[in-house]
Structure 1
Amino acid sequence: MNSIIDQLIEEFQLPLQNPVLIFSLILFIILLAPVVLNRIRIPGIIGLIVSGIIIGPAGLNILEKSLFVDVFSTIGLLYIMFIAGLELDLNEFKATRNKSLLFGFLTFTIPLGIGFPVCHYLLGFDFNASLLTSSMFATHTLVTYPIVSKLGVSKNAAVAITVGGTIITDTAVLIMLAVILGSHNGGLTQEFWIRLGVSLAVFSAIMFLVIPRIAKWFFRKLESEKHSHYIFVLSVVFFSAFLAEMAGLESIIGAFVAGLALNKLIPHSSALMNRIGFIGNSLFIPFFLISVGMLVDISVIFSGPMALVIASTLTVVAILGKWLAAFFTQIVFRFSKGQRKLIFGLSSAHAAATLAVILVGYKAGILDDNILNGTVVLILVTCIIASFATESAAKEIIHNSDEDDSLELSSLTKGETILIPIANLVNIEKVLDFAVLIKEKKSPNALHMLTVVPNTDEAEKAIFKSKQGLESFIKETTASDTNAKIMATIDHNAASGISRTAKEIMADIILLGWPQKTGFLDKLIGDKMESILENTDKTLFICDFEMPLVNHKRLFLVVPPNAEMEEGFAIWIHKIAKLSLELSIPIHLYCTKETYTSILKYAKTNKLTMTLNYHNFKDWEDFLILSKVINDSDFIILVSARRGYISYFGQLDKIPAKLEKHFSELSKMIIYPQ
């Protein structure tokens, strides 16, 4: 008995050394800290940082800075930057790249312009120390980005601008750090500049030319190995971080660039994206936030008046500089008050890059203990302020957005029902991936997977067997946080069963796989399809996916005249805009000027983000003339019409057969609007 007590006393000696016990403690903190503080309306991020202060070396000394803590906190930091790059809406970023450059310039120069005189003339630092400390004010770490991601405003223009500005300003600061160290250690020689320029060029070439090609090949060859996809992504992130360090940059830059490189290959609503976000937000990122708290030593502000003065001055200058940058950005771009607060909240937290700059400068002898201690206090204060500001701004934007949605968007997109009839299991996985991407996240309704069995004596066995075959695909939709429901019905023919079920569940969209290649013309425009078109007034998508969705580079959209006058116009344009956004690829639109104008008007009214390349097209008699401008990586989408409707004309009936004959190897889809 005594030996057990002695063993327990030994195991619980502080600081803890047992890795199992350490990991258990960290998990309990991750579990409980946000829950407890959320009840008193304090952001969970602050709870994790405060927990780190309490258990850290300067607190109760329960944990010490060790290799174990360093490894997990580094993973969390890289994860934050990687997810920021991965969730960045590239279409929005391209549209706002000039704004990101301007914000990056403001958030770099304003803190630097305020900080240098304060450090040099007010605090009396020498030139290198003043320049390095003031450059620290320009950096910011996206500590509060998980708040933005969790609340669902990561695609707001203000977020795109801030994230873009982050990489610009942090890169500039880290290059400045390299220059200051070069100057401190013996001068800025020609060799220094050549080595820095070449390493940056080689790193960029590997990340944006080589890695995407390898990733595309990997995802295509191992399409069914879903767990391997996640391991591959992690490998790319850490290899990229290592390459960045070899190029003379910080590893956080490499992680962010990895997110950008893989952005188009990982759709935002995919199961892989859900796994990446789930594991990062559940484990690695909270671990990093706890480790940030472990760096904080509250007692430093009581070590003497000079430490208190420096800590207060650094904190005020850091917050003021970022607030002014956000304020001028709001003025220039006419952003709302909520967007200004969001920019300030995201850009005002100092942690990773700040620590990198200060610790490197401290170890090099450029900075002293007072600056190091003052910076630690600055980290705590700015993280707390940034957390409150970000959460408040995100909720304000959501509130305003919901009001706009209720005025502009129909209730259809918020409560839509998608029906997916399953004739065979050949391409069902790709059809389900497509359904997950276009489904409205605000809709509580599940995806309905339907199988129709003949009305025979074996009907019950057929239903059981069909349901059993579909069960395995439910797991994949669940992995992407999308509910799916399996349905089976008995009918004399499939078309009748589909039409009847669509009415019973009040489906808005029916999603069909492309008919089998044998006897295509009869199957596509024969009895089955004709019956579905005549007996349902739902929007119908007929899909043929010849390659993984993420491998497409353009949506090649062909729309007939007067399509904007159909009742289902809003549904299909909304879905195509969502698909373009998820895959981060542009839409090449071929239609009349009137249809193009209506699409632009709808997008503006409903605040849809679309990268459109418009081409005037009227020559439907010679439809195959488009083959000259269609590429092998295009996803061809034809908007057709039912007979008797305003946008219908005879040529539309002939085009499906032409698509199958001349573009059999390309992905394609035909849409029949409601």
Structure 2
Amino acid sequence: MTEHEALFLFLMAIGAFFMPFISKRLLLPAAVGEIIYGIVIVSVLPHGENQLEMVEYFSALGFLILMYLAGLEIDFDRFRDLSRKEFLLYVSVFIPVAVVAWYLSFYLNLHWSFAIIFFTSGIGLLFPVLRDTELIKTDFGQKLLIITMIGEILTLAGLTIFTIISKYGYTINSARQILYLAVFFIVIYLFMKILKVALWWKPNLQSVFLEVGNTTETGMRANFVILFAFVAFAAVLEIAFVVGAFVGGMMFALVFAGRDGVLDKLGGVGYGFFIPIFFISVGMRVTFDDFLQKDVILLALLIITSLFLSKAAGTILLLFSSIPKQKLLLVATGLSFPLTMLVVVSSIFYDLELIDKMQTSAVLLASMISAIIFPWIFKAFAAVIMPDEDVR
């Protein structure tokens, strides 16, 4: 570790500690505050490329933990409570979303990667908004969570397939990589089936994966083993690391129902340090001057508008669901601020050189603005549309 890296890590640790308090005072999501803090750091102490390998290492680890937690937080019990008809209807919501997202990227003369950006859905910021408004306890809040979970899974699936095609083109190599992806999921599925049977025969084994708070923290160790096992398996098959981490968390959530202790403990480690480092390092890729460029501002506004229009198109199919028509605007708004997933998608596309620095700056600016205005609009609409729900 160099002195330069040690200084940046110290500044990042300070930001990881103070930014949640400052962000709360400024009525900003913590991730937005951390990205802004990263921009401040790089503006005050600029650094050259490849000079902060240790910072990049911590950032990459935070990225993997973030995606593992994204999969781990999926509550499959909610899906089991749905009828097959209702589940298929919620999945079909994202067909018009995909169509409109693709059309808008073509109409605006943007790279196809923006279709994925416009399609992106994520549960990261929606959950605390529903909890703050106490809609998490309502039937509508639960259904909106399920729809968003489906959108997040489809976002990662589409991101994986299209990045493979982007890397290898429409060639036999692409077909081979997609075949590897299929093999990856089949092997994981069979492994989880075997693990479920083993746990049924010997339920005491669950404590190895779920026990936290003891001196050895076996639950935490087991989760890190699973995380890196899935990442390594994905690397062997030349699949994106992010897919391995997300699927690892998702499979753990599918097998182990009583994972709240692990989720809290791992979330404390991740959100306490490593994940803020990731968001701060994302902010270090841009400067305030980048955000002040006319092209960046215009593109950011187009991204925000496209996010909402594509999600609004998807709510048309919900006219055939049990969700009241007057609440469909809330669904469209609730799906339009996928802050964490937008940052993840833009980071992957930037690393793959599918979007340039100007476009990355626009996506980051759009993700931060949407994370500020759409939750406020959601809460305001909810208070008017659902007065009987005692919305806060």
TM-score by length of 1: 0.48
Q: What displacement does 1:228 show? A: 0.9
Q: Counterparts of 1:17 and 1:300 in 2: how far apart (Å)?
A: 24
* Contact map agreement 2:38 2:283 (CA 8 A) in 1: yes
Deviations 1:246-281 (A, max 9, x none): 444322222221222111444467322221222222
Counterpart in the other structure of 2:321: none
Please tell me the residue identity of whatever aligns with 1:314: L
Q: What displacement does 1:51 show? A: 0.3
Correspondence for 1:198 among 173, 179, 187: 179
Counterpart in the other structure of 1:188: 171
* Contact map agreement 1:266 1:272 (CA 8 A) in 2: no
Deviations 1:597-644 (A, max 9, x none): xxxxxxxxxxxxxxxxxxxxxxxxxxxxxxxxxxxxxxxxxxxxxxxx
Q: Counterparts of 1:258 and 1:92 in 2: how far apart (Å)?
A: 19
Correspondence for 1:321 among 297, 301, 306: 306
Q: What displacement does 1:196 show? A: 2.4
Counterpart in the other structure of 2:190: 209
Counterpart in the other structure of 1:299: 289
Correspondence for 1:392 among 362, 376, 382: 376
Deviations 1:526-577 (A, max 9, x none): xxxxxxxxxxxxxxxxxxxxxxxxxxxxxxxxxxxxxxxxxxxxxxxxxxxx
Q: Counterparts of 1:86 and 1:397 in 2: how far apart (Å)?
A: 30
* Contact map agreement 2:70 2:246 (CA 8 A) in 1: yes
Provide the secondary structure at the position in 2 that maps to 1:119: coil
Q: What displacement does 1:323 show? A: 0.5
Counterpart in the other structure of 1:339: 331
Provide the secondary structure at the position in 2 that maps to 1:351: helix
For residues 384-533 of structure 1, what are the structure 2 equivalents within 5 Å? Answer: 384-389=368-373, 391-392=375-376
Counterpart in the other structure of 1:380: 364
Please tell me the residue identity of whatever aligns with 1:37: S
Name the CA shift for 1:269/1:256 in 2 (closer, same or farther; >3 Å).
closer
Higher RCO (CA < 8 A, seq sep 6+): 2
Q: What displacement does 1:150 show? A: 7.2
* Unaligned 5+ runs, structure 2: 319-324
Correspondence for 1:144 among 121, 125, 135: 125
Counterpart in the other structure of 2:248: 258
Counterpart in the other structure of 2:315: 330
Provide the secondary structure at the position in 2 that maps to 1:61: coil
Counterpart in the other structure of 2:15: 29
Counterpart in the other structure of 1:73: 59
Deviations 1:38-92 (A, max 9, x none): 1232332221110010112x54327976222222222222233222222222133
Q: Counterparts of 1:318 and 1:27 in 2: how far apart (Å)?
A: 32
Q: Counterparts of 2:96 and 2:340 in 1: how far apart (Å)?
A: 13
Q: What displacement does 1:210 show? A: 0.9
Name the CA shift for 1:68/1:391 in 2 (closer, same or farther; >3 Å).
farther
Q: Counterparts of 1:99 and 1:24 in 2: how far apart (Å)?
A: 49
Name the CA shift for 1:392/1:300 in 2 (closer, same or farther; >3 Å).
closer
Please tell me the residue identity of whatever aligns with 1:160: I
Please tell me the residue identity of whatever aligns with 2:264: N
Correspondence for 2:112 among 127, 131, 137: 131
Please tell me the residue identity of whatever aligns with 1:383: S
* Unaligned 5+ runs, structure 1: 1-10, 121-129, 408-674
Counterpart in the other structure of 1:47: 33
Q: Counterparts of 2:143 and 2:156 in 1: how far apart (Å)?
A: 20
Name the CA shift for 1:135/1:402 in 2 (closer, same or farther; >3 Å).
closer
Correspondence for 1:83 among 30, 52, 69: 69
- Is 2:231 aligned against 1:241? yes
* Contact map agreement 2:16 2:276 (CA 8 A) in 1: yes
Provide the secondary structure at the position in 2 that maps to 1:223: helix
Name the CA shift for 1:156/1:142 in 2 (closer, same or farther; >3 Å).
closer
Provide the secondary structure at the position in 2 that maps to 1:350: helix
Counterpart in the other structure of 1:110: 100
TM-score by length of 2: 0.78
- Is 2:212 aligned against 1:228? no
Provide the secondary structure at the position in 1 that maps to 2:335: helix
Please tell me the residue identity of whatever aligns with 1:263: A
Q: Counterparts of 1:73 and 1:250 in 2: how far apart (Å)?
A: 16
* Contact map agreement 2:38 2:280 (CA 8 A) in 1: yes
Provide the secondary structure at the position in 1 that maps to 2:99: helix
* Contact map agreement 1:212 1:261 (CA 8 A) in 2: no
Q: What displacement does 1:405 show? A: 6.6
Please tell me the residue identity of whatever aligns with 1:377: S
For residues 584-595 of structure 1, what are the structure 2 equivalents within 5 Å? Answer: none
Q: Counterparts of 1:359 and 1:173 in 2: how far apart (Å)?
A: 13
Q: What displacement does 1:136 show? A: 4.7
Pair member with larger Rg: 1
Q: What displacement does 1:381 show? A: 1.2
User: What is the count of residue pairs matched by the alignment?
Assistant: 365
Q: What displacement does 1:22 show? A: 3.9
Name the CA shift for 1:131/1:376 in 2 (closer, same or farther; >3 Å).
closer
Deviations 1:365-408 (A, max 9, x none): xx6xxx5122222132122123214643675699799976779x
Correspondence for 1:173 among 156, 159, 167: 159
Q: Counterparts of 1:251 and 1:149 in 2: how far apart (Å)?
A: 30
CA RMSD in angstroms comes to 3.7
Please tell me the residue identity of whatever aligns with 2:288: I
Please tell me the residue identity of whatever aligns with 1:241: V
Provide the secondary structure at the position in 1 that maps to 2:239: coil
Deviations 1:485-540 (A, max 9, x none): xxxxxxxxxxxxxxxxxxxxxxxxxxxxxxxxxxxxxxxxxxxxxxxxxxxxxxxx
Name the CA shift for 1:359/1:178 in 2 (closer, same or farther; >3 Å).
same
* Contact map agreement 1:240 1:255 (CA 8 A) in 2: yes
Deviations 1:424-469 (A, max 9, x none): xxxxxxxxxxxxxxxxxxxxxxxxxxxxxxxxxxxxxxxxxxxxxx
Larger strand percent: 1
Counterpart in the other structure of 1:644: none
Please tell me the residue identity of whatever aligns with 2:34: L
Q: Counterparts of 1:24 and 1:268 in 2: how far apart (Å)?
A: 36
